[in-house]
Structure 1
Amino acid sequence: MTAKAIEVNETKVQLQLFKSIVDVNFWFRLVDLKKDVFKLDDKARPILAICQGRDHQAPTSIVECFKNECLNLQFCMIQGLLMNQNTLEDYADFDYRKYIKTQLEVYKEMLANNHWEKIEIGDFCNFFLVSYADLKKYKFHYTTGHILLTHGDLNLEFQRIDFTLLDYLNIDDAYSYMNDHGLQAVAVIANSFVRISKLNECSKETWKTAPDLDLEKISSLRCLLVGAGTLGCNVARCLLGWNIKCITFIDNGVVSPSNPVRQSLFVFDDCKNGGQYKAEVAAQRLKDIYPNVDCKGMVMSVPMPGHSIGDPASFKNDLAELMEVISLHDVIFLLTDSRESRWLPTLLGRLYNKIVISVAIGFDSFLVIRHGLREYNNSCYFCQDVIAPTNVNNTSLCLKSLQKRTLDQQCTVTRPGISMIASGTAVELLTSYVQSNLAKYRNALIDTSIGESVSNSTQDTLGTAYQQIRGFLSTYEFIKTSSPRFNECVACSEKIINEFKSDNIGFLERIFNNPGILEEISGISSLKKDLDQQELEISFSEASE
């Protein structure tokens, strides 16, 4: 290294070769602290390094940890300062001369006001580390400087290095890299590289834009996706963008040749040899995108009203498995293409008091609805229906099911962008709900002025968590509404819930064979009779006049 001399207050500053190593674990710790604690605060932070030296060799400092975090008592620890800059330009423009002058004045004052015998080595900043951490590319730029007091002179050494954590594919690569750069790899620890896979986590740097955003509350959610088709694939990708890592798919379908162009987690090879199961393929694709995701694909059927139960043992097993998986998750997304496949998950979501979000799409429109929890008297997907879900198409009521479907009815014919808009809206509605204080604002869902005040409040960083959002691509409009729970609802009413609690297997066997029983139990049949009677009376009255 070329030696230079810099005059600082008539004190000669000389450079000497002094090797430096920054332990990889230190950078991992800096990443965590930068995101969660330091954020945009670039003040100096005390750090510690191991100092090693051998006969006839230059001394080596190994930057190991932040002060007061972990001390390696087997070695001599020296104190230093970290000055991590917020931008690459700040790092490049760092004024080392000014820093040296400032540090020298500190030393002079310490020596003038203290007796030598009372001064400890920890009172001096023996080294400094100026760095810039690029958290998008995980590339680190840093300069180390060692300040040594020797017989009244201030000796200083610079060492400037750029490297990327993703370069460390394994322990051998790390040793090779450090040796090529003239560094001693004495502090490289193998388990540091196990954490490399975690670098793909999408950390939303919202320090200025949304400082009150609680990312941990969102990323810790356990999400169940009922349906691994077009909506399921898009919802999963959006959840991954929010760093939600616990995702489970439920689907018993296989990938067909028409799927990959619209269902974003599948490729053409997935439909060969009869097709692979969607749930399993979708889960594997998420792991390919982000290895640290906790994703599972469950190949199972969701019992549906109007559909044959088939093998009783298999039916009981599917029901028990569905009840268990719903109870273990925080959020249930209903993303299937029929009404009856949403019925049982809706009932169970109400039973276990889970956050349930249902997404439905048409040719150029969509609906996203957040089902009501027990403490909020909001409606579910079925609350605005006056007919039980069944495996029969009813064109007069615009109700489509799985029976007697033509080709255009077998495929969900929509404008391609609808599924992406609806999926993104559903996930963003979830994050708004989790972040917001609905206990205070749950009724302020329609009034525009109230909605704006909610959006601007510190407790609602992501805006208002609306209960229903209907989108129309033909006019590019969103309609935001809410509705109370229907007391005679065939899915979430107390009558249905209590009936299921009393005898779940017997109850389901009856309604699956005869879905009309749902209307009798919920009270819709009586409501229809009353309406028919009133209509008859009105007609009779008009005829008499």
Structure 2
Amino acid sequence: MAASNSAELKLQFAPFSSALEAGFWHQLTERKLNDYRLDESPKCIKGYYYNGDPVGLPTRLTLEFSAFDVDGSTPAHCCEAVGKLYNTNTLDAFKSTDKKALLDRESEELWAAIQSGDALTDPRILCRFILLTFADLKKYHFYYWFCFPALCFPEGIKLIKEPSVLTTVFTAKQISALQEAYDGLCIKGSTTAVPYFLMKYTDDTVHLAPLAEWGTFFAGTQKVAVGVYDPCTLSQHPGWPLRNLLVLLASQRGAKVDTVEVLCFRDRTLQGSRSIQHSVVFHVKLPELPSDSACPKSVGWEKNAKGAMGPRMVNLSECMDPKRLAESSVDLNLKLMRWRLVPSLDLDKVVSTKCLLLGAGTLGCNVARTLMGWGVRHITFVDNAKISYSNPVRQPLYEFEDCLGGGKAKAIAAVERLTKIFPGVNAEGFNMSIPMPGHPVNFSQATLAQAQKDVEQLEKLISEHDVVFLLMDTRESRWLPTVIAASKRKLVVNAALGFDTFVVMRHGLKARQNGSGDADSSPSCSSASSSSSTPAGSASSVPTSSLFSNIPGHKLGCYFCNDVVAPGDSTRDRTLDQQCTVSRPGLAMIAGALAVEMMVSILQHSEGGYAVASSSDDRMNEPPTSLGLVPHQIRGFLSRFDNVLPASLAFDKCTACSAVVLDHYEKEGFHFLSKVFNSSHSFLEDLTGLTLLHQETQAAEIWDMSDDESI
């Protein structure tokens, strides 16, 4: 600070104290995650300072949430300060950054602007800053070091006399004229605060002008007076913005200026009344600058809270909503994947996908956990079972306590556990049954009404979601959602387990409507594999290879396209081991994870569910998405740790997705469905033509035998 003795008075400046608000760090977090990523190049930001603070407050440079909008407005009665943000990717990089080099580089740019005259036409150049940061976005610890570059004279700046409060230098009339002149200068500049200005005055008048008029404003006078919008509240010292202005004036030697009168303009509002009487006047003798035009030495790095040269750290984890912290951390894990490995990954498409999980058992739990790992926020469960004692060891969303008292409903308990794991998830559970073929619903009026209610609820849920996962433990329970999803053109991902085999597949999507309103025609396969009597949880009914390749999404088959019999009651008269899905413990985790990964790959394809199916032959070709292939099916064999990628065409006599089934469903609704539920499997076989196909096949076999006998 200023020192006074009998020999001389020296001018010292109150340094800036950085004030980085929480909004700034929130914005930095968003920019780091969505824009900067791993880019460490300098970014332009903006702060501001205010000259109306009461006595006792430090000289503050404030950065808030608007700091990244450089072209945005500055708060009223504040001066802007433009700076450079250097955000490092690691704490080591933050520590090892050459701070002197940063300061020297900025100082040289400042000195060049002073010598060229650019600083006169754009005085904002005189008030620039540097901000070096590291953001630990997992802990929400922010390390930063602020610098306000200031050029130095080779020797100290001398005061000709003691600083004077404005009221001891100006009369009341002059003070009023000064205030009016400053307001006029602001209006002329379309702002509420002017950082620097030229000044001349008489006993009755005060004239102000921008620095750009330096060459003409003082014509005919040797007295030079300037003003600075001063954020300092001390009566004996000016604020930091004056430093570079004095260097600018000293470089203007063409005017032979040795002494300068400086008005530190302070505009406060006290008790509702505006006053500039706290402004301070300094009479300064300008030292000589080096004659070799070399950039003067510079200072400006801020001291830390202990008064030593060093960075500061702010911990926002305690003042932030823990749920918000969890969401940001989940997003960070995914965005690191995009920054480092897959720049084209469309995370927003994944995160915004609404997923309906039909089944909250072993597959459902594993699928849900993997979906959350991908940042999916909207997950809905449908299941009618309760948690049993055998479940928690295989189904990771449940614990022993969930089994007590008869067991909690799986769909509800799964939602509770997801919310505990990640509060940012939007999870919902429905404890309801899915009506199935071969499971009659006409026992009573109440049973029929409940079935209709369940169908309507399922239709509503499928309509509201983007992807439907079929994760149930019976084959027939997958029929109704397959029909509804096909009708509504919803992407279906199906996962089924055997003992050591699994199948994960996407259903083909119904053809898009063409311009005339008719559906695009698509040829379908007229043959299918032989039927299987295995449970729905088994994968053995799916062919392990395919003669077809390059099949577009609207021609792909569904889970039932490989059957030549309609689904029926698969649990009747079954022993315990046949009713349960008996599989190797790791199989559900593998199949569940692959089901989600298949969905994500589909979402990354420009055609989505209509994408051409990748096959095993495509493994050496250029992948269609940033994540790789988009298969129709993944057929896995755990015993030999092998996967194949078959693809199959839709079956025109499919009991679930064929045109005749969808047409009856769309026209007759629940009336048609109730026929399916209450009839034997022959109803669907008759409807789709499977019965006729069987008869023709049998006739052909008899004909072949007759030919053989005749030979």
**Residues 297-336 of structure 1 mapped to structure 2, 5 A cutoff:** 297-309=429-441, 310=443, 311-336=447-472
Query: In the alignment, residue 214 of structure 1 is paired with which amino acid?
Result: D
1:452 matched to 2:620? The reply is yes
Aligned position for 1:25: 23
Matched, 1:529 2:691: no
Residues 685, 691 of structure 2: 8 Å contact kept: yes
- Corresponding residue for 2:289? none
Q: Following the alignment from structure 1 to structure 2, what is the Cα–Cα distance between the partners of residues 271 and 427? A: 28
Larger Rg belongs to: 2
Structure 1 position 411, deviation (Å)? 2.4
Q: What are the within-5 Å matches in structure 2 for residues 273-292 of structure 1?
A: 273-292=405-424
Aligned-partner SS, 2:645? strand
Which of residues 120, 123, 126 in structure 1 aligns to 2:125?
Answer: 123
Q: 1: CA distance between counterparts of 2:118 and 2:38?
A: 39
Deviation at 1:134, TM superposition (A): 2.4
The answer for the alignment partner of 1:167 in structure 2 is 318
Equivalent residue for 2:330?
201
Match of 1:167, SS?
coil
Amino acid paired to 2:653: E
| CA deviation map 1:216-274 (0-9, x unaligned) | 11111111000001100100110111111011101111111111111011111111111
Alpha-carbon distance between aligned partners in 2 of 1:437 and 1:452, rounded to the nearest angstrom = 21
Aligned: 1:232 with 2:364 = yes
| Maintained 8 Å contact 1:145/1:158 | no
CA displacement, residues 164-205 of structure 1 (integer Å, 9 cap, x when unaligned): 4322257xxxxxxxxxxxxxxxxxxxxxx8844532433321
Equivalences, count? 496
Counterpart residue number, 2:148: 146
Q: CA deviation at 1:462?
A: 0.6
From 587, 600, 607, the counterpart of 1:418: 587
Partner amino acid for 1:138? Y
Deviation at 1:146, TM superposition (A): 2.9
What letter corresponds to residue 317 of structure 2 in structure 1? L
Structure 2 counterpart of 1:216, one-letter code: D
Query: What secondary structure is seen at the aligned counterpart in 1 of 2:494?
Result: strand
Taking a change above 3 Å as real, the CA distance of residues 447 and 366 of structure 1, as seen in their structure-2 partners, is closer
1:135 positional shift: 2.9
SS at match of 1:481: coil
Cα deviation 1:469-525 (Å, max 9, x = unaligned): 110110000011100000000000001001111212221111111132011101111
Equivalent of residue 491 in structure 1, options 653, 656, 659: 656
Change (3 A) 1:438 1:454: farther
CA distance in 2, matches of 1:83, 1:494: 61
Deviations 1:379-434 (A, max 9, x none): 1000001111111xxxxxxxxx2222322223221111100000111111111111
The equivalent residue for 1:513 is: 678
Q: Deviations over 1:103-136 (max 9, x none)?
A: 111111111111765332x224532211112233
Distance 2:72 2:370 in 1: 38
Aligned-partner Cα distance in 2 for 1:425–1:298: 25
**In the superposition, relative to structure 1, how do residues 289 and 441 fare at CA in structure 2: closer, same or farther (>3 Å)?**
closer
Query: C-alpha deviations, 1:296-335, integer Å up to 9, x for none?
Result: 1111111101112152221111111111110111100000
Letter in 2 for 1:255: I
CA separation of 1:69 and 1:530: change in aligned 2, threshold 3 A: farther
Cα shift at 1:443: 4.7
TM-score, normalisation: structure 2: 0.67
SS of the counterpart of 2:630? coil
For the pair 1:45 / 2:181, whether they are aligned, the reply is: no
Is there any run of 5+ residues in structure 2 with no aligned partner, and where? 1-11, 150-239, 248-296, 305-310, 512-553
1:447 to 1:241, Cα distance in 2 relative to 1, 3 A: closer
Task: Find the aligned partners of 2:317 and 2:73 in 1 and give their Cα distance.
Answer: 27
1:389 is aligned to 567
Find 2:629's aligned residue among 464, 467, 477.
Answer: 464
For residues 444 and 249 of structure 1, the distance between their equivalents in structure 2, rounded to whole angstroms, comes to 28
* AA in 2 matched with 1:158: K
* 1:34 corresponding residue in structure 2: 32
- For residues 42-441 of structure 1, the aligned pairs below 5 Å read 42-52=40-50, 53-64=53-64, 65-68=67-70, 71-74=73-76, 76=78, 77-114=80-117, 117-120=120-123, 122-147=124-149, 148=240, 150=243, 151-152=246-247, 154-156=298-300, 157-159=302-304, 160-169=311-320, 195-203=324-332, 204=334, 205=336, 206-309=338-441, 310=443, 311-375=447-511, 376-391=554-569, 401-438=570-607
Instruction: Name the TM-score, length of structure 1 as normaliser.
Output: 0.86
Structure 2 residue identity aligned to 1:425: L
In 2, Cα distance between equivalents of 1:331 and 1:269: 31
- What letter corresponds to residue 23 of structure 1 in structure 2? E
Q: For residues 71 and 499 of structure 1, what CA distance do their matches in structure 2 show?
A: 62
3-state DSSP class of the match of 2:83? Answer: strand
Contact 2:392/2:398, CA 8 A, preserved across alignment: yes
Counterpart Cα distance in 2 of 1:339 and 1:443:
26
The unaligned stretches of length 5 or more in structure 1 are: 1-13, 171-192, 392-400
Give the secondary structure class of the aligned counterpart of 1:166.
Answer: coil
Q: Is the 8 A contact 1:365 1:470 kept in 2?
A: yes
Determine the C-alpha separation between the residues in 2 that align with 1:273 and 1:516.
42
Label 1:144 to 1:279 Cα distance change in 2 as closer, same or farther (>3 A).
same
- How many Å separate the matches in 2 of 1:107 and 1:202? 40
**Cα pair 2:323 2:424 within 8 Å, conserved:** no
- Contact kept? 1:377, 1:485, Cα under 8 Å: yes
Shift of 1:72: 4.8
Structure 1 residue 33, shift from structure 2 partner: 1.4
**Aligned-partner Cα distance in 2 for 1:41–1:344:** 50
SS across alignment from 1:350: helix
The 1:338/1:289 distance shift into structure 2, 3 A limit, reads same
Residue pair 2:387, 2:410 contacting (<8 A) in 1 also: yes
Whether contact under 8 Å (1:138, 1:199) holds in the other structure is no
Distance 1:414 1:116, change over 3 A: closer
SS in 2 for 1:520: helix
Identity of aligned residues (%): 37
Please state if 1:501 is matched with 2:633: no
* Structure 1 CA distance for aligned equivalents of residues 13 and 574 of structure 2: 82
Amino acid in the other structure paired with 1:371: H
Say if 2:613 and 2:647, in contact at 8 Å, map to a contact too: no
RMSD of aligned residue pairs (Cα, Å): 2.3
